Structure 1
Amino acid sequence: MSSRRKPSRRTRVLVGGAALAVVGAGVVGTVAAHASDSTGAVPAAAPAAARPGDLTRSTHLTVRAAEKAARAALDAAVKDGRQVSVAVVDRNGDTLVTLRGDGAGPQSYESAERKAFTAVSWNAPTSELTGRLAQAPTLKDIPGTLFLAGGTPVTAKGAPVAGIGVAGAPSGDLDEKYARAGAAALDR
């Protein structure tokens, strides 16, 4: 039996990104080496410009706002005497801020990130999403998700811009209460 832990999502992304960069550098170098003309000079590449109709805009929560939300969620839990971890992810599910409260369990860190990711992915509190598992039990198999109460989305103009996840309280209802406290801090 192996005691090796599965690498975290962040580690897998970093390792994959590094491997992609190495492969990309090799491809670019190979193309550049074969792109010279008869004088041996490499022609300058013209920058590609995307047409306005080919672009979309998205809104993202700032790091400052993410820190404010995470701090408010953690403070609400501490006020109730709870040891939790809080994570705030952006619209793409990338972690902006994670706070591990004093005494929070080791599992709470990743659970908070996954709850935040799940909330922003479906633009719904994770407590509501747990009900969907009855109709579609394989939803829980989607990588990076956690269908337990404790995550809430943050929206702007009806669209999700972030997710806040909390884990470590004795119940998901409390986790979600603290996540909502973090989201409410953004309205002030």
Structure 2
Amino acid sequence: MKKTSVRTRVLTGTVAAAALAAATVGAVSASADTAETPAVAAAAVKADTQNKNLAQTTGLTIEAATRAAQATLDAATKAGQHVSVAVVDRDGVTRVLLKGDGAGPQSPESAQRKAFTAVSWNAPTSELAKRLAQAPNLKDIPGTLFLGGGAPVQSKGAPVAGIGVAGAPSGDLDEQFAQAGVEALSK
């Protein structure tokens, strides 16, 4: 009979131990599905809902964000303007981006930055642009654009989203179209 080396015996033992461990984990996992599990899960959910460390936020649904963006684009199209529209959530994350037919290549990014700026400061970007005279460093904040065309969407005075428009010949027109999107949410 041939003798096996120590190395071979160690490897064989390790493989056998790993197989045994895998079988044990599988058996424990399979037996975890008992009548007691739903009660434990319900208790965990109850504990989470009462946790004072959780924060709840209000935001637009994707349907509402899309409706606002389309109303904004429709207002611009009716006025004969070729724009891009962005709707961002409270954290500045883009939820909807529409690049209208004929809108310039720079307009989608500008619309996103205007929307981000409006929601970040809970103010129309035309008002924020006026603040640059007192605080010129504001323009250095990444992701912002202090030009007219951004409008915040509010719930009980708090910002929940921002609408940004870019591509019209003036920021005043861009902002007028953004306001049309905000107004569409109240209908």
The structure with the greater share of residues assigned to helix is: 2
**1:75 matched residue in structure 2:** 74
Q: Write out per-residue CA displacement over residues 128-148 of structure 1, whole angstroms, 9 at most, x where no aligned residue.
A: 001111111111111111000
**Structure 1 position 176 matched with structure 2 position 175:** yes
TM-score by structure 2 length? 0.74
Q: Write out per-residue CA displacement over residues 48-102 of structure 1, whole angstroms, 9 at most, x where no aligned residue.
A: 9766211111101011001110011110011110000000001111101011111
In structure 1, what is the Cα distance between the partners aligned to 2:124 and 2:76?
18
TM-score by structure 1 length? 0.74
Larger radius of gyration: 2
**2:63 matched residue in structure 1:** 64
**1:93 matched residue in structure 2:** 92
**1:162 matched residue in structure 2:** 161
In structure 2, what is the Cα distance between the partners aligned to 1:126 and 1:174?
12
- 2:81 partner SS: coil
**2:108 matched residue in structure 1:** 109
Aligned identity (percent) is 69
Q: Write out per-residue CA displacement over residues 155-182 of structure 1, whole angstroms, 9 at most, x where no aligned residue.
A: 1111111000000000000000000001
Aligned residues: 149
Q: Partner letter of residue 134 of structure 2?
A: Q
Q: C-alpha displacement at 1:154, in angstroms?
A: 0.2
**1:27 matched residue in structure 2:** none
Q: Partner letter of residue 119 of structure 1?
A: A
**1:133 matched residue in structure 2:** 132
- 1:96 partner SS: strand
Q: Write out per-residue CA displacement over residues 82-131 of structure 1, whole angstroms, 9 at most, x where no aligned residue.
A: 00000000111110101111100000010000000000000000000011
- 2:106 partner SS: helix
**2:142 matched residue in structure 1:** 143
**1:36 matched residue in structure 2:** none
Q: Partner letter of residue 69 of structure 2?
A: A
Unaligned stretches of 5+ in structure 1? 1-38
In structure 2, what is the Cα distance between the partners aligned to 1:115 and 1:63?
19
The Cα RMSD (Å) is 2.0
Q: C-alpha displacement at 1:153, in angstroms?
A: 0.3
Q: Write out per-residue CA displacement over residues 2-40 of structure 1, whole angstroms, 9 at most, x where no aligned residue.
A: xxxxxxxxxxxxxxxxxxxxxxxxxxxxxxxxxxxxx96
The runs of at least 4 consecutive aligned structure 1 residues that moved more than 4 Å come to: 39-44, 47-51
